[in-house]
Amino acid sequence: MAEPKTKYDRQLRIWGEQGQTALEKSSICLLNCGPTGSETLKNLVLGGVGSITVVDGSKVEIGDLGNNYFVDESSVGESKAKTVCAFLQELNDAVKAKFIEEYPEALIDSNPSFFSQFTLVVATQLVEDSMVKLDRICRDANVMLIFARSYGLTGFVRISVKEHAVIESKPDHFLDDLRLNDPWPELKSFAETYDLDTPDPVVHKHTPYVIILIKIAEEWAKNHNGNLPSTREEKREFKDLLKSKMIASDEDNYKEAIEASFKLFAPRGISPSIQQIINDNCAEVNSNSTDFWVLVAALKEFIANEGGGEAPLEGSIPDMTSSTELYVNLQKIYQAKAEADFLVMEQRVKKLLKKIGRDPDSISKATIKSFCKNARKVKICRYRLIEDEYNTPVQLELQKYLTDEDYSIAVGFYILLRAVDRFAANYNSFPGQLEGEMDEEISRLKTTAVTLLGDLGCNGSTLTEDLINEMCRYGGAELLAVASFIGGIASQEVIKLITRQFVPMCGTFIFNGIDHKSQLLLL
């Protein structure tokens, strides 16, 4: 067996050893192992989750051979859960795998406590009634839950957790934490030791742009009543001032300073999203507070006191044109400040933990350090109960989606995926499953969908005949290509939730295979 560091080398570069450890400790339950469920679990098994439990009461049928890679001819008539489980384990022998031959709907009704043993449940191909029941069960047990379903050329993925905190959100684009518009004393003193008017061309072209911007900003502020550029015209003048300091056309450091000047113009202090988090009621901590909210409470105190309105410094600097010695010295200045901020935060965390009656060392230094490094990027995600969304969707949003041409098919599929479940409850089959009754079933589905929209306070005329006909044409089928895509999205969200890295989707993800579009509905 390959060493974990070799085996998982590529993904370790994305979520690191901490993320991989979280995966390896996780226990995943899959409900229904058709193509959507099997494709979801395949990705997680390859990723190295700790254990999987497959729950499915059905047998492998001839029709399964054409849309599920994890069954074969020899398994026809055998337990689907057992067969899929065996094939999945072949992909990664480090993952513990077991199966339960029982229909998920029966298990949800008869043994709700069964789900409390898992880190996360992936529920695929469940109808609305079972989704609502399972959602409440998992909420009460504090178990993360993801619903996934493929249906013809459409499908959806929906996360349901009470609250999910993300420290390492890893946004694609985020402003470097350089504090150019508010340098602390040590950085300011370091910048003052350098003369931008030096006659030495080598020194001039190897002064880091951080120093250049701090020095020029100070010069600008002296001539503008202590203010930095704010208007478009002032920003243009500031860039012209930077250009005037160049003594040669090949000075890349000054070009970098001009390109990075927007970092100087950024507003000081914390972002509105962080302000919202520190103002959350949960930041008033007690003995039941999670580690995340204790860290947020400490952050709130830090910003109001030692931080002077700023979060702890991240402590890293980007690549830039510079001499090695200058770059290293500058890097040390940032690292020293970050370490000092961390030590202050550590003490504040310990005091808060002691105050609420918990062990002052119960939050590790590594966790506090990671929080300090990512304090400007932390996120909190909260999800409505499925039952609440279905019974009382956000009316303004639903109306907007129904009347917006760009969202009309996505919300149409959303409504029709609910309508087919009502249809199945009334007629014991999904529309289009029975041969020779297509016209009648189209009419029945249309009536069901219009009634559903009426119950939600909306006009049923917004659903097109073509979309209703298309839904009947699907006959409840799981197409492998669509199932693979939905499974890929679902497994990606599972990894985000378990590693607590990257921000999971908020809302219901709808795949529109007709137009090859994916959209999120926030209802």
> From CA 494, how far away is CA 340, in angstroms rounded?
36
Select from 324, 352, 381 the last residue of a domain.
Answer: 381
> From CA 148, how far away is CA 482, in angstroms rounded?
11
Burial label for 303, CB within 10 Å (0-12, 13-18, 19+), is buried
In a domain, 175, yes or no: no
Token output for 94: 């480090």
Q: Are residues 283 and 259 in the same domain?
A: no
- Whole-number pLDDT of residue 319: 94
> From CA 435, how far away is CA 480, in angstroms rounded?
22
Domain count, the chain: 4
Q: Are residues 460 and 495 in the same domain?
A: no
The residue range of the domain holding 377 is 272-381
Q: Are residues 76 and 98 in the same domain?
A: yes
Q: Are residues 47 and 98 in the same domain?
A: yes
Select from 334, 361, 381 the last residue of a domain.
Answer: 381
List the pLDDT tens digit at each of the 523 positions of the chain.
456 667 888 888 888 888 999 999 999 999 999 999 999 999 999 999 999 999 999 999 998 898 999 999 999 999 999 999 999 999 999 999 999 999 999 999 999 999 999 999 999 999 999 999 999 999 999 999 999 999 999 999 999 999 999 999 998 888 899 999 899 999 999 999 988 888 888 989 899 999 999 999 999 999 998 889 989 999 999 999 999 989 888 899 999 999 999 998 888 889 999 999 999 999 999 999 999 999 999 999 999 999 999 999 999 999 999 999 999 999 999 999 999 999 999 999 999 999 999 999 999 999 999 999 999 999 999 999 999 999 999 888 998 998 888 999 999 999 999 999 999 999 999 998 887 778 899 999 999 999 999 888 887 667 889 999 999 999 999 999 999 999 999 999 999 999 999 999 999 999 999 999 999 999 8
Q: What is the DSSP string of 149-199?
A: EEETTEEEEEEE-SEEEESB---SS------TTS--HHHHHHHHT--TT-S
> From CA 373, how far away is CA 368, in angstroms rounded?
9
How many CB atoms neighbour CB 160 within 10 A?
22
- Whole-number pLDDT of residue 2: 57
Q: Are residues 242 and 302 in the same domain?
A: no
Q: Are residues 33 and 136 in the same domain?
A: yes
Q: Are residues 395 and 503 in the same domain?
A: no
In a domain, 11, yes or no: yes
Q: Are residues 21 and 134 in the same domain?
A: yes
Q: Which residues have C-beta within 8 Å of that of residue 345, sequence separation ≥ 6?
A: 298, 299, 302, 312, 368, 371, 372
Q: Is the entire prediction scored with pTM above 0.85? A: yes
pLDDT tens digits, residue range 262-308?
A: 998 888 889 999 999 999 999 999 999 999 999 999 999 999 999 99
Q: Are residues 35 and 97 in the same domain?
A: yes
> From CA 512, how far away is CA 469, in angstroms rounded?
15
Nearest to 158 by CA among 512, 516, 504: 504
In a domain, 196, yes or no: yes
In a domain, 95, yes or no: yes
- Whole-number pLDDT of residue 1: 47
DSSP secondary structure letter of residue 521: E
Q: Are residues 157 and 12 in the same domain?
A: yes
Q: Are residues 137 and 150 in the same domain?
A: yes
In a domain, 170, yes or no: no
Q: Are residues 215 and 259 in the same domain?
A: yes
Select from 381, 405, 424 the last residue of a domain.
Answer: 381
